[in-house]
A and B are shown apart, each in its own frame.
Chain A
Amino acid sequence: MTILHTKAISKRYGGLQALSEVNMTVNAGEFLAVIGPNGAGKSTLLNVLTGLTMPTEGKIWLDGKDVTRWATHARIRSGLGRTFQHGRLFERLSAVENVMTGAAVRKGRSEKELQEFAMSILHRMGLSGVARHQISSMSYGQRRMVELCRTLACEPRVLLLDEPAAGLNSGEVELLMERLTALRAEHQLAVVLIEHNMGMVMRLAERIVVLNFGCMIAEGTPAEVQTNPAVLAAYLGEGYSHADV
């Protein structure tokens, strides 16, 4: 079942075509990766999906509803959740307060229930020991995990992750992959992953969408994408073929 769907989404900044007629579907519970070279339009796509940037043309549907002109908070309340490429935690709030900002999306919970809910997410992600710590006193890896907890607190059905492994060491990346796999299984989450770590992408993704210069140049399973000539050309240049790699 399709949960998120875009039709001919384009975004232009003056003379720069950041996205060009991108048609993308995300199915419920699916793990989809969006890859592409730097400047391909991956983060712009997430910005458009979450309403931080309005598309120049095209439509976006979430759960069958046209959300193209919806405000960001309305999309989040309808089931989208997103992390940033460069973590944007509230530095002068503690970890649990950060997570509570996400938990506040759901109405009808008392302050105490919100705090307990936030604590339970931090606990599940192995962060209960630093729940009361200010963000500024945490390690980079802990901050990335708190950001993920904060987004999970919004109880999304589609989780948009913008380079969650950037800056993490191999142990932390391994831990992140384990947590993501467990979360997805537990909550039937659809995950859209933007990532340059190809090991992570190939291990987690069921389907991959490839962007280059704002255009969708390929879509398929990891095995299909790995052998797609257009993808190889985008990453390695026109002179390469699959045999060279």
Chain B
Amino acid sequence: MADFIQLSINGLALGSVYALAAIGFVIVYSATGVVNFASGQFVMLGTFAGVAMLINGGLPWPVGYVGALAAMALFGALFFLVVYLPLRSSPVVTIIIGTVAVGIALQNAAQLTFGSWPFRLQSPFEGMTIEIAGAVITVHAVAVVVGTGILIGLLWLLLHRTTIGIGMRAVAQDVKAARLMGLRVNGLLAFSWVLAALLAGIAGLMLGPMWFADVNMGDPIALKAFAATIIGGFGSLPGAIAGGLFVGLTEVLGASYLSSAYKDLIAFGAMIAFLLVRPQGIFGERIQDRG
């Protein structure tokens, strides 16, 4: 039982990271219709922003985390200005290819800057553990789960209780009508990219102490976040959360109780099963309902 509790919390922690990556994915997709294939590299960049601030820069963790997140927000704004805005009138597939290109460029830039040797990013709660029903759990894992819960709550408040959030939801539904309400559509779209980059940055900082910081870490995260959005329901925020937690839990529990060789098979097998049996995912609406 103690093992199960320990594994479940670790699975929830990993799932929280996937959920944050998936939420960023969904926010961009809802606002712009673009599937961001660089979302995994966004998370990788968040981890390496932490590496640059905490390891290379030697900053204390509160300052380093704020600096890393500020860098990610700036990156989100730059991505909007340099990649999305110039391609905005192009067919959506062109923008998607643009995100693929940026993902590759980011990975190579990270390799040139940091080298291919992985880093170990320390947690602010390094070495701290707590015991729950005989299970020894790292404080970092608990902090990741609790922190993600708080972030999701704040995100809900932003989207449902602020005019910026209501504007973002309006733009996601009908850009033309949003313009006719006097909403600054470009500003709201830019904010969507900034928010997605920030969430990816937080996911990256959370993931750093759980995995090694590796320039190639982006692709597996993107694939898991993609699987999470399919399982939860493409375009659905609650779906991204549920899907992320599901993928994280199945990955950790599957690796422990079956074999670590099957952990990806289980996650992607679940995704394929959802596509066959319930293609709209847990919370998503059927495609024909959106017409």
Contacts and interface: CB of A to CB of B under 8 A. Distances in A.
A50 to B, nearest CB: 6
Contact of B161 (A76, A93, A111): A111
B173 A111 contact: no
A48 interface: no
Given A52-B176, A90-B173, A111 B162 contact: yes
Contacts of B173: 90-93
B176 A88 contact: yes
A104 B177 contact: no
Contacts, number: 69
B179 A101 contact: no
Given A90-B169, A93-B169, A114-B163, A101 B183 contact: yes
Nearest to B163: A104
B182 A76 contact: yes
A36 B177 CA distance: 25
Interface in B97-155: none
Contacts of A105: 181-183
A7 to B, nearest CB: 23
Contacts of A52: 176, 179-180
B134 to A, nearest CB: 45
Contacts of A76: 179-182
Nearest to B164: A104
Contact of B166 (A71, A84, A101, A154): A101
B166 A104 contact: yes
B170 interface: yes
Interface residues of A, number: 28
Nearest to A87: B177
A119 to B, nearest CB: 14
B185 interface: yes
Interface in A151-187: 151, 154
A100 B167 CA distance: 9
A39 to B, nearest CB: 21
Contacts of B185: 73
B266 interface: no
A99 to B, nearest CB: 10
B164 to A, nearest CB: 9
B184 interface: yes
A98 B162 CA distance: 13
A90 B170 contact: yes
Given A93-B170, A111-B162, A104 B176 contact: no
Contacts of A71: 179
A150 B184 CA distance: 16
B182 A77 contact: yes
Contact of B179 (A73, A100, A104): A73
B178 interface: yes
B1 to A, nearest CB: 42
7 contacts: A84-B177, A92-B169, A98-B170, A100-B166, A101-B167, A101-B178, A111-B163
Interface of A: 50-52, 71-73, 76-77, 82, 84, 88-93, 97-98, 100-102, 104-105, 111, 114, 150-151, 154
Lowest 9 CB-CB distances: which A-B pairs, in order?
A76-B182, A105-B182, A72-B179, A88-B177, A104-B163, A101-B181, A90-B173, A101-B170, A102-B181
